[in-house]
Structure 1
Amino acid sequence: MIKLLLLAFSGLKFGKLLASGGTMLLSLIVYAFIYGWRYAAGFIALLFVHEMGHYLAARQKGLNVGLPTFIPFVGAWIELKDQPHNAETEAYVGLGGPLLGTVGALLCYFMARSWGANWLLAVAYCGFFLNLFNLIPLSPFDGGRITAVLSPRIWFLGVPVLGALFWWRPSPMLLLIALLAWPQLWKAWKYRSDSAEAQSYYAVPAATKWEYASIYIALAGFLAVMTHDVHEMLKSPAGLH
């Protein structure tokens, strides 16, 4: 009986791995048909690196977390089976994705410069932009999870950013994000510093708040500069040559 249980458990773990790999492969095939296999592979790899940043951060905090799931034109996410116990843990997990994702984009950037590969430079640009996009200070973005360590009311700063993006590039995905953000904004509106939630979940030392704020601003600034500079390089007729 014990052997059967162990076999079933290992099969369950294999099934989850297969499901994660299957959704990744599906996304790769779809993107390859549209953008070519090299760009598709690089893009999926950067999505994977970003999500593994969340995965590793969650594991470091002792949270039970599932492997990444991919959906074409939507992105990827990991399933947190254990919810964070406090805002600092949530910020730590939220920061893991953009941090490791930025490292992955930087690696693509340096390889593109070394090899003179414009397609790889395009992958790097996409990585920088997506990680910057994810830093919008509005839940459910990673930026919303990070900045909540300061106060949920900071999420209102993300509203004009999301609105400007929609004005610049209208997208059904941005409308979906706005719908998902609405309940979180209502929660932020009702937030009170003397509430039980503020005294427990959001009770974070001032030094920790400054630490996350500094990292967030520095990372957002760096990604903004790299996104702009790499975009200008791609616009150049000569590219990397």
Structure 2
Amino acid sequence: MTDILHVILLGIIEGITEFLPISSTGHLLIAEHWLGARSDLFNVGIQAGAILAITLVYWKRIWQLLTGWRDAATRSYLFKLVVAFLITCVLGLVVTHYGFKLPETVTPIAWALVIGGFWMIGAEQLAAKKPDRSEVTWTVAILVGVAQMVAGIFPGTSRSGATIFTALLFGTSNRAAATEFSFLVGIPTMYAATGYELLKVFKDGGAVHEDWTALAVGFIVSLVVAFIAVKWLLGYIRTHRFTAFAVYRIALGVALLLLMPTGA
């Protein structure tokens, strides 16, 4: 029973943090220091629950993109999503080839939270000085693809935070438009990551050792919580900046550095 409660808690953490710009991977790694480490498949699997939530939230937009490709503007937007996704995939394969591993201590996550928080504050102030622009340029699409990979390499950075603020800084100064592109490009990215981990598990014979019940519970909890969190966030950003999330990141990062100076 205790283990299931831990799984539920991890699912809640993932659901809340996946699309808020505060780093889901960073929060999961921190939580697992106290609740016990989980497999890579579990972590990616519950992230897939959050991605399914965003798929449900944006299903009308996704359908419009898939069925309206004859329209030049729609086709251009769709191509930009594909290019951003492919850039992330290629960079992800390169990083995997060189044996990248997530950090085993809290210190790099804490620093990423702090640095990312200050970067968010500065980026939003710069974006606020620019004319309101909803268009996603090719520059934005390419850099968002790179930003997704950077966030994957440095837990605590936040995939949503890195991509949203990259878009804001480099051309898409409208918060809602930048957030939508960030969320949409995250859908195929995380589904691909989940599929990749599944293939690895089955290829290595690790499926028999995986706790599929825990994975299913975490997936469902993450799905429900993420759906609620995304709906709230989309309403929040219409009238608010991301400053509160930046302050939270800085406060959490500083607290971790002070409470766990060795990172252990």
TM-score of the aligned structures, taking structure 1 as reference length: 0.31
TM-score of the aligned structures, taking structure 2 as reference length: 0.29
RCO higher in structure (CA 8 A, sep ≥6)? 2
| Structure of higher CA gyration radius | 1
